Amino acid sequence: MNPSNPARKRQPGQPPPPRRESASARAARAARIAAELARAYPHAGCSLDFESPFQLLIATILSAQCTDKRVNVVTPSVFRRWPDPTALAAAAPEELEAVIRSTGFFRAKARSILGCCRGLVDRHGGTVPRTLEELVRLPGVGRKTANVVLGSAFGIASGVVVDTHVGRIARRLGLTRQADAVRAERDLSVSVPRGEWIAFSHRLIEHGRSVCTARAPRCDACPLADLCPRVGVRAGRVGR
């Protein structure tokens, strides 16, 4: 053994380092993870309140750096005052900012919402398009927002929604190493069965809230324990 580079000793209770996994083996494990999540969270779904694709689009823009719970408090006031893309596109910026202020970053969000609604009116006759390519051309709409709308409003599996929580848990599960959401989505889209793309994110978010928390994951109560290499989890951080 090289004394200048001693082997790092694994602490008691710490999981072994993840082994290199082939793409086919990762896909098989991802399918099992999806099945276990379906059993554990059969009713998981979008936690943003909406009655139309338009409402979900606006709610998802507002959800950036904000809890869904707070967004659900704010959106009824938005849609009572501006019930459709035409009305919202004509809103005075300062009035919209005042209504959405509590969601944070309200000036940037107001610009995105106004630009998005003007795009809906000018390019799509006031209707929300049903393709990823058209959605991401709207101001303020990225891949995550587009995937949320297509999946939850239209039932179209255009990709895997990767937010902060999904990315964190996917890395912990060894399904991706990528911190960038677009690259992480690419990895998950390869491994997770396409038929599970929409539900997978909802269930992973629910799992992150109830079991696989950021600071103290409850690995002892985890339905995925036998499938998870616990990447980045230190023994002292495991909750009970």
Packing angle of the helix pair 197-210, 23-40 (nearest 10 deg): 70
In a shared domain, residues 149 and 58: yes
Per the structure block, which two tokens stand in for 72? 């659900």
Q: C-alpha distances in angstroms, 70 versus 11, 82, 99, 160, 171?
A: 41, 19, 12, 24, 27
According to the model, what pLDDT value does residue 102 have?
98
> Is a pLDDT exceeding 90 seen at residue 3?
no
CA-nearest of 201, 205, 207 to 227 is 207
Find out whether 89 and 130 touch, Cβ atoms under 8 Å: no
Catalytic (active-site) positions = 144, 163
In a shared domain, residues 223 and 163: yes
In a shared domain, residues 110 and 165: no
3-state secondary structure of 55: helix
Q: Considering the domain boundaries, does residue 173 fall inside one?
A: yes
Average per-residue pLDDT for the chain? 91
**233/56 Cα distance (integer angstroms):** 34
Q: Considering the domain boundaries, does residue 221 fall inside one?
A: yes
pLDDT tens per residue, range 186-233: 999 999 999 999 999 999 999 999 999 999 999 999 999 999 999 999
More confident residue, 191 or 239: 191
Q: Considering the domain boundaries, does residue 3 fall inside one?
A: no
Q: Which residue has the tokens 């707070």?
A: 70
Query: Which of 103, 122, 154 is at the close of a domain?
Result: 154
In a shared domain, residues 70 and 114: yes
Find out whether 173 and 231 touch, Cβ atoms under 8 Å: yes
Q: C-alpha distances in angstroms, 46 versus 137, 161, 206?
A: 23, 11, 10
3-state secondary structure of 84: coil
Q: Considering the domain boundaries, does residue 13 fall inside one?
A: no
In a shared domain, residues 135 and 62: yes
Mean pLDDT of 51-64: 98
Residue-number span of the structural domain to which 210 is assigned:
159-232
In a shared domain, residues 148 and 76: yes
pLDDT tens per residue, range 8-56: 444 444 454 456 889 999 999 999 999 999 999 999 999 999 999 999 9
In a shared domain, residues 65 and 141: yes
Instruction: Read off the CATH number of the domain in which 78 is found.
Output: 1.10.340.30
**220/224 Cα distance (integer angstroms):** 10
In a shared domain, residues 138 and 225: no
Residue 142 CA from chain centroid, whole number: 12
**What's 64's DSSP letter?**
T
> Is a pLDDT exceeding 60 seen at residue 7?
no
According to the model, what pLDDT value does residue 234 have?
80
Read off the amino acid at residue 164: T
More confident residue, 164 or 9: 164
Q: How many domains does the chain have?
A: 2
Find out whether 112 and 61 touch, Cβ atoms under 8 Å: yes
**116/112 Cα distance (integer angstroms):** 6
